[in-house]
Amino acid sequence: MLMIFPKLSKVAGENLYTYIVIAYEQDFFFAGSAKPLIERADLQPIYAALGMGNIGKINFVSPGTRLAYTPNLYGTIRWLVNQGQIRVFEVDAAALLSRVSNYRSDINRLILYKGLAPQLSIMSIVHEVTHAIQDWRNLVSGHKYIEADAYIAAAVAALSTDPNCAFLEYPAQKPAAKLVLAGQAFGTNTAWIQAYADVRKTVEADPPLIVLLKILPTRDLIKSLKTRLQF
């Protein structure tokens, strides 16, 4: 088990982790604190994150999903947010487990979790908007490819404004993002294919919270919670 709560015993740490994951997955934080962002001033962080300074260099064809990402697509999502077709909420989950944001394609909902450093906020918005693009393009692909694309796009945005950005989630993001920034992210470039594969492998080795939850030795706890909370 991950040492996320070093001051707790192993079992207590696992239980707390499980409760937090369930709270996220079941929308408890959302139900408790969601604030819809509607006014222009409230949506400003999204508009700023999707400004040309951040997304202007996101230009690559994904070897995994085959989708071509361009600044125009990010502009389209910005427009959809502006039109209210993608609803945005701010949720306060006290930055638990460092979860940063989330896009749900079934209801076109983008959640921004409160209390993030500005640079982290830009990266998480670009990451989630990449998922929104995938959704609006009706992309069907594996989790590892969908995520690899989003991590690379977010890294391109981060490195566009700060070449020394220290917030990247994985080291493999940097070489891939640098190739995008250099205009070298096309299908016949073996360096790009390799850099993309490295990101994909990293993502694969780091399963999402909900998968982690299923493999944790706390199945009984989850079962009893499910019965009690009826989900």
- In whole angstroms, the minimum distance from the beta carbon of 54 to Zn ion comes to 17
Q: Which region, judged by CB under 5 A, interacts with Zn ion, from 145-153, 170-178, 192-200, 221-229?
A: 145-153
Distance CA 81, CA 5 (A): 37
Tell me the C-alpha distance between 36 and 7, whole Å. 35
> Which residue of this chain has its Cβ atom nearest to Zn ion in the complex?
150
Select from 37-45, 75-83, 139-147, 188-196 the region that touches Zn ion (CB under 5 A).
139-147
Between 201 and 221, CB nearer to Zn ion? 201
Cross-strand partners of 61: 68
Interhelix angle 190-204/173-181, rounded to 10 degrees, is: 150
Stretch that binds Zn ion, among 26-34, 144-152, 170-178, 182-190 (CB under 5 A): 144-152
Pairing of strands 101-104, 109-113: antiparallel
User: Any contact of residue 199 with Zn ion (CB under 5 A)?
Assistant: no
Max CA distance (Å), the chain: 54
Q: Does 110 bind Zn ion (CB under 5 A)?
A: no
Q: Could you say which of 150, 172, 181, 195 contacts Zn ion (CB under 5 A)?
A: 150
Query: Is residue 173 within 8 Å of residue 201, measured between CB atoms?
Result: no
**Least spacing, CB of residue 74 vs Zn ion, in Å:** 15
Contacting positions for Zn ion (CB under 5 A): 147, 150
